[in-house]
Amino acid sequence: MPTNLFGKLPTVSELLDKPPLKKLRETMNPATLVSNVGVYLDRYQRDFKSRVADFPAPKLQHLAESISRWLTGDAPAGIRAAINGTGVVLAPELGKCAIAERAIQGAYARLRDYHTTQLDAESSRQSASQAEAVRLITDLAVATDAAIVNTRTAALHLALSELAAGRKVVVARGELGETFDGIHLPNLLAGAGVLLVEVGASNSATLADYEKAIEDDTAAILSIDASNFAGVTSATRPSLAELSALAKKRGVTLIHDVGVGGLQSRDEYQGFGVDSVQAAIAHGADLVIAAGNHLLGGPDAGLLVGRQKLIEQIRSSALFPLVGSSPLELAALTETLEIYRMGELVADEIPLLALLTTTIANLELRANRLAEQILASPLVESVVVEPCKAHLLPGSMPIDSVCVKVVPSDGDVAAMYARLQQNLYPLFVRQAAGHLAIDLRTVFPRQDFLIAGMFPLGVEESPK
């Protein structure tokens, strides 16, 4: 355990200067307040020490077996930590995003012992843990109510089946297809029991197209954000505010899926052409669908945010308990939301935002250092550091980045690519004619030394 770990804890005086505790000075005895803050800090420190002490050391036999499987290539398939050098920030095949370390530690602290599961006093349909997350979501998105299920697909299906089953839902033709994370929208709508009404052309839909399609048995307008789809889209369509005005005029519900968008409208999202739940609510959407992962940077979860009447209808569905998030997912989501609520150093603590906000100068410094280490390996003929383009999604709007291009000494790019994926921490990169490109936009700084270790200094081969 690092010796300076507890030196990072604030002092009692520093904590008392923060607004929440400062306010308590007006109602509490100062000596009692100081004493209780000190007691809490002591308990916090003891609890953390006990968690570290409880962490089990692996048995030698089990550790030997694990190493043996790795060396012989017999390691079982499953979830493994990987290094994303592809330059695609939200890579579906690599779990889309990493979860904040603080969220993981916080979830562990909540669930390491028996934990409370009682229903929230204000609702018989959600646990107290879900109610806590709901309060954070509504505060951050400036919304009335919210509900949480296990996936974004479940959230969209539940919303449509509860609010529009047996009735018509109007969708722009250009917004129907398969999303970047594998949701086939026409199939999902059919499975939810709604009657799909397509409007406009594949690359254009007007407000008049929507208005002509709305009839007495129309339940909703469904708007799908363009960030749901990999690749650049040039489709034109009405703004969300225009659709909201039309929905209110005709008495139908406006459901909007924000795609990869997060809860808040943040500076880090500028230039990516993505929406946020907060912006969609402000523009008049009645119900917004979002994901716990994607730009929010939390665990996989489906978020339904919007008007209280609609949320209560969805929450009363017989399907709602069947697609609820697990205690682990809820705990990790709540801790992720707490990072946003605290508001300090969010871009540093949320891994995905940390990647997006890394400066080019920082990437160049790391790339040059890594290139020098890789070039020392006899497996490599040459290494070049040069500017390149990363992407939020495959084929989406480019993001400035820096790549380390590696040319194998034997010219066999495919063999080196396969070799990099046989490591304990497999490295995924871009393959090109004659070289491999490691895009540092999607590599965490702590992983640089792992990449360097994949190019040994000796002539021996690494484990296969």
Please report the pLDDT score of residue 55 as a whole number.
57
DSSP three-state, residue 10: coil
- Per DSSP, the residues of 13-45 read HHHHTSHHHHHHTTTS-HHHHHHHHHHHHHHHH
The angle, 0 to 180 degrees and rounded to 10, between the axes of the packed helices 128-141 and 327-342 is 30
Please report the pLDDT score of residue 299 as a whole number.
92
User: What is Dmax (Cα atoms) for the chain?
Assistant: 75
Please report the pLDDT score of residue 395 as a whole number.
76
Query: Is 452:379 a contact under the CB 8 Å cutoff?
Result: no
Please report the pLDDT score of residue 105 as a whole number.
87
Please report the pLDDT score of residue 130 as a whole number.
87
Sign of CA dihedral 422, 424, 430, 434: negative
100-152 per-position pLDDT tens digit: 988 888 888 888 887 776 655 455 556 677 889 999 999 999 999 999 999 99
Distance of alpha carbon 161 from alpha carbon 150, whole angstroms: 16
- The reported pTM is 0.81
Distance of alpha carbon 366 from alpha carbon 373, whole angstroms: 11
DSSP three-state, residue 398: strand
Strand stretches in 93-167, DSSP E: 145-149
Distance of alpha carbon 65 from alpha carbon 68, whole angstroms: 5
List all residues 6 or more positions away from 51 whose beta carbon is below 8 Å from its beta carbon: 108, 109, 112
Query: Is 308:110 a contact under the CB 8 Å cutoff?
Result: no
DSSP three-state, residue 207: helix
Distance of alpha carbon 362 from alpha carbon 439, whole angstroms: 13
347-361 per-position pLDDT tens digit: 889 999 999 999 999
Distance of alpha carbon 45 from alpha carbon 7, whole angstroms: 11
* Ranges of residues in the chain whose predicted pLDDT is under 50: 1-3, 121, 461-464
Q: Which two tokens stand for residue 22?
A: 């400062």
